[in-house]
Amino acid sequence: MKSAGTMARTAVRQMMWHLARRAAPVVGFDADGIRYFVHTADREIARKLFVRGFFERDALELANNALDLFGGRYGLRDRKFVDIGANIGSASLLATKALGARTAVAFEPAPANYRLLRMNILANDLEDRVRAVECALSDEEGDAWLELSPDNLGNHYLRDRRPVTSSVAVRTRTFDAFVRDGEIDLDDAGMIWMDVEGAELRVLQGAKNLLEADVPLVMEYWPGTFCEDDHETLIATLRDSYSTYLDLRDPAAGPTPTARLGELHKNFRGDQILTDILLVKS
C-alpha cells in the first residue's frame, strides 16, 4: 500500500505534468540520479517517468537479479547492454548508471525519440559509454515506414507500406549486420532488451547470431500484435533457441520451460494483454 506521502507526491507531480504539457514540448528533470528530457505529448513513458520517477526499472532490475538463478553466468555488470527499441533511452540510462553495465548500444528509429535519446546520453555524461543508432532492427537491410502514435511515443509500428496515418520513412538494418561489422560483440553482451511493438519476429529473423549465442534476451510479449501464423512462428523460434523463460510480471511462477511458452497468454489475468519475459539458454 502506498503511503500518504507517496500519494501526495504523485498527485503533485501529476498536476505539474499537466502544467508542463501546456508550457513546453519538452521538459527536463532528475529522478534517482538520472537526468531525463521527455516529450510532454507522450502520455505513456514520459508521463510515468515524470510522475513516478521511473519506467521499466522494476522489470529491468528483476531481470538482472533473476539471472543469478542461472548460475551467475549472466548479468549486466561490466558488460554491454543492447537496447532494441530504445525510445528516449530510459533502459540504457538505468543499465549503465545503476545496474553496472559498462557500455550500451541503443537502437531507435523514430527521429523525435532519437533526438531525445541523444540529449539524454549527453545530459548524463554517457557519450563515451552509450552509443545511439538511428535505425529499426528488422529482417533485412533497407527502408520501411514507421507508423507514428501522436500521444504514446513508444507505440510506433513498423510497416512495409506507407500507412494512411502519420508516418515517417526509416532505415532498417539487421542485428546480424552489427555483429558482422564488429559493432556488437556477443561475447561481451550481458543482456539484450527488446521492445519493438510487434516487430519482434522480424528482429529475430535478422538475428541468427543472437539466437545461436548464449546471451539472455528480455522482450515484451504481446500476442495481440501478431497474426496467428506470426505468433506461432515467434513461439517456435523462441522455443528452438532458448530453454527457459521467466515471466517478469509473475516471477513467483519461477523459471519455466519454453516448451510451455505458447500457454503463457492463457494465464493473463483480468484485462492483462501483455507481459515481459526473460529468456535464457539454460
Question: Tens of pLDDT along 165-209?
Answer: 888 999 999 999 999 999 999 999 999 999 998 899 999 999 999
265 pLDDT above the threshold of 90: no
Pairing, β 130-133 against β 103-107? parallel
CA distances from 19 to 16, 152, 230 (A): 5, 18, 43
Cα gap 278→130, rounded to integer Å: 23
Q: What is the pLDDT of residue 72?
A: 67
Q: Which H or E run includes 61?
A: helix 57-66
Q: Does 144 score more than 90 pLDDT?
A: yes
CA distance 92 to 99: 10
Provide the residue type at 223 as one letter. P
- Cell numbers 508521463: residue: 47
Q: Among residues of the chain, what percentage have pLDDT more than 90?
A: 69
**What's the CATH number for 55-280?**
3.40.50.150
pLDDT at 160: 77
Mean local confidence (pLDDT), 93-112: 97
pLDDT of residue 71: 64
pLDDT value of position 269: 78
Distances (CA, A) of 62 to 149, 218, 243, 247: 29, 11, 19, 10
Output the pLDDT for position 228: 76
